Amino acid sequence: MGQQIDIREGELKNHVKQALEWIRSGFIIVAPLENSYVFLVDAFLHDGVRAMHVLRGDDLGVAAQVLVSGEKVLEGIVREIPDSARTMIKEFWPGQLSLLLPPHVGLNWDLGDDKALDEICVRTPSAEFVLALLKKSGPLAVASAALAGRPPILDVNLIAALDSDLAGIFHTGKLKTRKPSTLVRAAEGKLTVVREGAISFKALAAKVPEIEREAIG
Domain boundaries, the chain: 3-213
**pTM of the predicted model over 0.85:** yes
Tell the CATH topology of 3-213.
DHBP synthase (3.90.870)
The one-letter code for the residue type at 144 is: S
Cα 170 from Cα 140, distance rounded (Å): 16
Q: Are 2 and 163 in contact (CB under 8 A)?
A: yes
Digits of tens for pLDDT over the chain (217 positions)? 578 999 999 999 999 999 999 999 999 999 999 999 999 999 999 999 999 999 999 999 999 999 999 999 999 999 999 999 999 999 999 999 999 999 998 899 999 999 889 999 999 999 999 999 999 999 999 999 999 999 999 999 999 988 789 999 999 999 999 999 999 999 888 999 999 999 999 999 999 999 999 876 5
